[in-house]
Amino acid sequence: MSERRSRGLLPSPAGLVAGGLVILGVLLWMFVNKGLLVVAGIGAFGPGILRELGWLNDQDEFQRQAAHRAGYHAWLVGGLAAVLILSALQWGNSGADVSIEWVGLVLALMWLTWLFSALLTYWAAKRTTTVVLLVFGSFWLLFGVATIISEAMDGTGSFDLATTLLGVMAGISIVGPFLIGAWAVYRWPRATGAVLIVIAALFAWKFGPWGMDDWSTQLLTLTLLALPLFACGTALLVEERSTT
């Protein structure tokens, strides 16, 4: 535990670059061209490939073990999710085309599982939660800004004030939980964990695919939006319970 506490808060330079590429790739996928998701793929999988080839040596032995263990966890979660999705689609097959979002859902589950498993092993719950909330909060902030810019333009090169204000309010409502949680995690870890789980449940209720024919898009959105909050909240509660 003392070894984990002594480690710095920021990832390595390679990790920061990889995280930036993931965020940039997702934003490009959303707002420019779907094919540019490859940028996020390079950020998510590129450093690991370089490390396994021996071309990137930015991790110590403990980090390597944590990453390898996290890879096995990601394999288990991704494999199970793929089997469940294939079984469900075959069970209720109506002849309709399968949405590509199902592939994105499996990839998102695998990557998030790897990320949380590695960070929780390396940093423990509080530091991991702080970093994850700041990173995801930054992503949703950038997403909100990009959405406001794209929707507020009225075609004449000027902003529509009402649309901009509504976009800002919506962005704050999404970014707020991440930033507040990052601030409160060391002060009230147990309460912060409980609040994050409640917010994740509210997101599940609001953005879940309940009553829809095609669940793929909503499940992908829900995974990206609610799963980080739920994972951080659960890790905080489990860690605090084990230390009392």
Return the HEC string of 89-141: HHHCCCCCCCCCHHHHHHHHHHHHHHHHHHHHHHHHHHHHHHHHHHHHHHHHH
Give the pLDDT confidence of 172-204 residue by residue, as tens digits: 666 777 788 888 999 999 999 999 899 888 888
Asked if residue 64 has pLDDT above 60, the reply is: yes
Q: Inform me whether the pLDDT recorded for 96 exceeds 60.
A: no
Given this model, what pLDDT does residue 138 score?
77
User: 153 has which bridge partners?
Assistant: 159
**Residue 6 pLDDT greater than 60, yes or no:** no
Question: Quick check: 5 pLDDT over 50?
Answer: no
Token duo for residue 11: 């990832």
99 falls within a domain: yes
Q: How far apart are CA 81 and CA 11, in angstroms?
A: 29
Residue 55 predicted with pLDDT over 70: yes
Number of domains in the chain: 2
Pairwise CA distance, residues 73 & 121, whole Å:
12
pLDDT exceeds 90 at position 76 = yes
Domain that holds residue 125: 69-243
Calculate mean pLDDT across residues 136-154: 68
Domain assignment present for residue 33? The answer is: yes
198-231 as b/e: b if 16+ CB within 10 A: ebbeebbeebbbeeeeebbbbbbbbbbbbbbbbb
Is residue 42 located within the same domain as residue 104?
A: no
Q: Name the pLDDT band for 21 (thresholds 50, 70, 90).
A: very high
The two structure tokens encoding residue 184: 């409160």
Residues 32 and 54 reside in one and the same domain: yes
**96 close to 211: Cβ distance less than 8 angstroms:** no
Instruction: Identify the bridge partners of residue 219 per DSSP, sorted by sequence position.
Output: none
Whose tokens are 């024919």? That residue is 213
Q: Please report whether residue 64 resides in a domain.
A: no
Overall pTM surpassing 0.75 (yes/no): yes
Classify residue 179: in a domain, yes or no: yes
Q: Is the pLDDT of residue 95 over 60?
A: no
Task: Provide the pLDDT for residue 210.
Answer: 66
Three-state DSSP class for residue 53: coil
Q: End of a domain among 14, 39, 58?
A: 58
Q: What pLDDT score does 219 carry?
A: 83
Q: Calculate the CA dihedral of residues 193, 196, 197, 200 and round it to 10 degrees.
A: -160
Q: Are residues 40 and 110 in the same domain?
A: no
